Every structure is written in C-alpha cells, then in structure tokens.
Amino acid sequence: MTALRAAFFENLQKLGRALMLPIAVLPVAGLLLRLGQPDLFDVPMVAAAGAAIFSNLGLLFAVGIGVGLARENNGAAGLAAIVGYFVTTQGAATLMVVPPAALEALLSQSLEGMSDPALDIAVNAFKERQLGKLSVPVGIVSGLLAGWLYNRYSNIRLPDYLAFFGGRRFVPIASGVCGLFAAAVFGLGWPLLETGMDHLSRAVVDAGEFGLFLYGVLNRVLIVTGLHHILNNIAWFLLGDFEGATGDLRRFFEGDPSAGVFMSGFFPVMMFGLPAACLAMYHSAPSGRRRAVGGLLISMALTSFLTGVTEPIEYTFMFLAPVLYAIHALLTGVSMVVMDLLGVRLGFGFSAGLFDYLLNFNISTRPLWLLPIGTAYFAIYYSMFRYFIVRFDLPTPGRDAATAQSGSVPQAPARDVAALVDALGGAGNLRSVDACTTRLRLAVNDQALVQPELLRRLGAHGVIQPTGNTVQVVLGPVADQVATDIRSHIAAAKPAEQLSPTQASAPPVLDAGKSLPTETVRQWIAAFGGADNVVAADTLAGRLRFQVLDRSAVNENAMHSLGMRTLTWVAADIAHVLAPGLGPGRRSLLIEKDTVSGRVGKS
C-alpha cells in the first residue's frame, strides 16, 4: 500500500509539473491581448494574437501535458496529443445533439419557417460554443492519454510487414484510436458532462466566502507538495461559463464582470504581505549581519512584488516555523474573502505581481482598493513575522548558524552545477531531472545520497523529499535554467567526475581484445535494467550491444558513470553503446538470463 501511495503521489507530481508547460505561455498571451486593446495601444493585430492563444488553450494543454508526461519529454507524445485532441473534438461535435430550445434562445426566434442555411449556421454556432467549453477538459484528457501511450508503446514491435508503423510512429495512431472513444464519451455524454461542470461551478459559488477561504488556504498548503497547480487549473480554467469561456482566468480576459474572485486575493499577499516578511527578517537579523543577507532578501521581496513568485520567501520559514506558515495560509484565505466582499476583481496572466496589476488595471473592478488592503497586509505580516522570529529565535536568514560563522549567505542560488550534482548524490543517482516555475523536480535512486544541508548552502531555499525516490529543490525562477544546466553537465561530464566514491575504485570498464571482467558485466547489466530486463548482450566492432525487454528501465546516468560516450537505439529493443577502451576487435559476450547472476558465457 505504501508503494502504491508513493507511485500515486509521484504521478500526481508529474501531472502538476506537466500542467506548468502550457501555463507558461499565458503571460505572453495576456500581454499581447492587453497591449492590443483600445484602452492601451489599440493594435487589433496584437490583440488578435493574444486572443488566439486563449482560444486554443485546450490544444496547448494537450501538447504540454503529453510532452511533460512522456519519457524524455519526447515530441512524439506532443504529436500524438494533437491527433487525439482533433479526433476527439471534431468527432464529439458531429455526435452532439443540439436542443431546439437552445437554438431558439440563440436566434431569439422560433425554428418554424427558418431556412436551412440559417439553421445550419445556428447549429454550427452552438457546437462551436460547446467545443470552446470542453476544449480544456479534452486537452487534458488527450495529453494524459498521449503521455501514457508514449511511455507504454513507444518501443512496440510490429510484424515485419508493419514495421514502419512500430515504435514511436505507433503512438499517434493509437492516440487517434483512443480519440474516437473519447469523442463518443464527450459527444454523446456532453449533456451530462456540462451538467456536472455546471453543478461544480454552482457548488463553489454556493459555498460563498467559505469556499474562497478554503481555496486560498489549500493553495498555500499544497505548495509543499507541488500539487497546488492542479487546484489552480480547476479554478482558473474550468469553473464558470461566460459566452463559451470557462475558468476564472479566461472569463476575466473575456470581460466577465464576475470573474477574478480566484485571483484577486493573491495580490495583497504577494505584493505586500510577503515583501513585508522579508523586511521583518532583515530587521530581525543582528546589525552586523544585515549587509550579508540584505541582497538575498531584497531579491526575494522584489521577485514577489513585481512578478508574484513567492516560493523562495515561503521556503525560508515553511519548515522553520510551521505555525507561522499556517498563519500565512490562513491570511491568504482571509484575503480572498476580503477582496470578494469589497467587490474587487483583479486578474493576471502569470501571477499576482505589479506587472500584471498595472497591465490589467483598466479591465479590473475597483483596483485601487488594493492599496489600503495591501498596506494593512504589509503591517500585519511585518508585525507577525517580527514577533515570531524574535520571540521564538527562529533561524531565518542572518540568524542561522551558517551565516553566523561565515558572515555571508549564498547570493546566486545553485549556479555551481557540478557542486549541485554532487550534493544530489552524483550523476548516477539522478534518474530524471525536471523543473517547474521555482523548483527542481528530481527522481533519484537513493535518497540517502542527497545532502539537503549542502544544497541549502549552495543557495537552495528549500529541499523536499515527498516520497522515497523523489526530491524537490526550491531555487526560485532560475529553476528551469538550472535543470537544463544539470542535464548538460551530466551529458558532458567526464566519467571520472561522475563516479561516486565506491565506483571510483571499480576496475577499468573495458579492455580491448580481452573478455570483460565479470563485475563490469554486472554493472552494465544493472544499467540496462537488471538481469530480468536483459535478453542478450555482446561486444562487437568496438561497441556493446544489448537487447532488452523494457527500454524504460534503462538508466543512462549509470552508463555515463561506467564510461559511456554515446547510446544509439538501432531498434526498439536493441541498443549500441560506445565506451572508452573498446577496440575494433570482435570479442563476443552473449549473456543469457541463467548466467547473468553468476557467470558469463563467451563465444
């Protein structure tokens, strides 16, 4: 049961990470849409470009989730998601039954005596509107199916006469077939699905201020696990309906005067509350250390105030003072309620920072109320943090032991990539490296090799180990760049740099013209998923050749540690590996399952 819970949680985290990929395009969409409006620069082309992104959010979700969930983030999953999305949406449109009452309401007249062309136009308009409402749910489902299909069938082998359609080419085909079933569900079941979405929206609205309060609290609490993205996507892209646009965020930019309730409450917290917390930390540090921590705290405060990215601040006290963080979560819920009671409607394309506040000022409702409410939140957060830090002697930046001894704190979070990889247990310990907005999301082989304290000294704002084989490292907005640097470092690093202390004493990997040492054989077999996964292997023409059952079980990082230069898949289940020391002479090493564990057969 524990293993099932860990797997379920890991899959939820993957979904939350994948959802961030399509959401990352929303800032440019909001920027283009607003800059092109008549109240700003009045450039219709620019406004239309931004509107095009919002109009195709479902397609963006399909591609983003498909690629985000696929092994190695392979683009074939994105293509499969597009195929599934189009098959589902267009198939569902043909199956939709248009109620006569809906057509009469749409045309404001009776259907009797109406010409066929006018009726066709009305039917198409109705279906287009319904497709707009289901586009995001269909996109999410298409992305989930494409990611799963790629991970499950990208290595499939078909009979020789169908071999062209095997491997990754099979995935879009399978996605299209699945799309037919999804089309039947969405097309025939749309009245039920629409009713369900309507009931969900009404339930949230009927929950009133308590519902908003609960949303604000959960939004902050779930940050610990990274699952707040899933909650946000329900509120921002699914709830409510305004002229075919669903979700609080989409409806806000479409001009719905009731939209913004799930965004407005974040502005007082992110623009005023958390920057005040940084000021309290600064004043709470001994005078001799304030200069050392000032740059770090100012950077975090400005990031929160300008862009609404708050995790670097929150992780400075989340685990040091859980009670303080609980109060912060409660105050976020209160802010949601207060802004709603005052009729304030603010929105954003990225997050609740100054940039979005100014950009969307003219389409907001009562935006100036943010100033007095924000001032009050600044005072509340400053006094609360000041009291708790001093009263309970919390080791916030400037008061921690590391700063007391060195007199300085890291100013550039985790930019020493080699040191960061070492702190994570070395390249061989990293199974996958991904990132969301502010944190690295890692899968590791051994949690014991991860050094949280060293990571913090390197500039990490927080280290979370949600399950036995996953680690999250909070770095701030640079997380995605650091993830890219880590992957590049792993690929380019010399074998000696990637060896752990125990591996450093291992025998030479390969010796041209000689049989491979048994221990080296075992290490290569382990890298290819173990004895149960290896069908056969041999050395030929200066390379290793492995045939496996499951390609997803192969650990390329472990191969780098063994000296791998390149890995080439010549077939769905056959890989060729180039490694140092392998000469052109042919020395066969056929490995059978019954000899892998103890002896090596040679021919």
Describe the strand order of the beta sheet including 543-548 as a list of residue ranges. 534-540, 543-548, 574-578, 566-571
Cα-Cα-Cα-Cα torsion 576, 579, 582, 588, nearest 10 degrees, comes to -40
Whether 246 and 240 have beta carbons less than 8 Å apart is answered as yes
Give the whole-angstrom CA distance, residue 580 versus residue 543: 9
Give the whole-angstrom CA distance, residue 382 versus residue 402: 24
Number of neighbouring beta carbons within 10 Å of residue 133:
20
Using the structure block, give the residue that is written with the tokens 């090596």: 600
Using the structure block, give the residue that is written with the tokens 């066709």: 120
Instruction: Give Cα separations from 54 to 49, 93, 193, 249, 365 (angstroms).
Output: 9, 20, 22, 10, 21
Give the whole-angstrom CA distance, residue 580 versus residue 376: 65
Residue 564 DSSP SS3: coil
425 conformational bin, left if phi > 0, alpha if psi -120 to 50, beta if neither: left
Instruction: Give Cα separations from 512 to 515, 564, 601 (angstroms).
Output: 8, 15, 18
Give the whole-angstrom CA distance, residue 165 versus residue 170: 5
Q: Which residue is catalytic, options 436, 493, 499, 527? A: 436
Instruction: Report CA 78 to chain centroid distance, whole Å.
Output: 15
Tokens of 361: 């000022």
Phi, psi of 320 (to 5 degrees): -70, -40
Whether 339 and 373 have beta carbons less than 8 Å apart is answered as yes
Whether 81 and 61 have beta carbons less than 8 Å apart is answered as no
Tokens of 449: 């090799």
Whether 61 and 102 have beta carbons less than 8 Å apart is answered as no
Number of neighbouring beta carbons within 10 Å of residue 107:
16
Concerning whether 178 is annotated as a catalytic residue, the answer is: no
Using the structure block, give the residue that is written with the tokens 């997050």: 351
Whether 10 and 69 have beta carbons less than 8 Å apart is answered as no
Radius of gyration of the chain (CA): 28
Using the structure block, give the residue that is written with the tokens 């309730």: 261
Phi, psi of 380 (to 5 degrees): -65, -50
Give the whole-angstrom CA distance, residue 245 versus residue 236: 11
Residue count (the chain):
603
The residues that are catalytic are 436
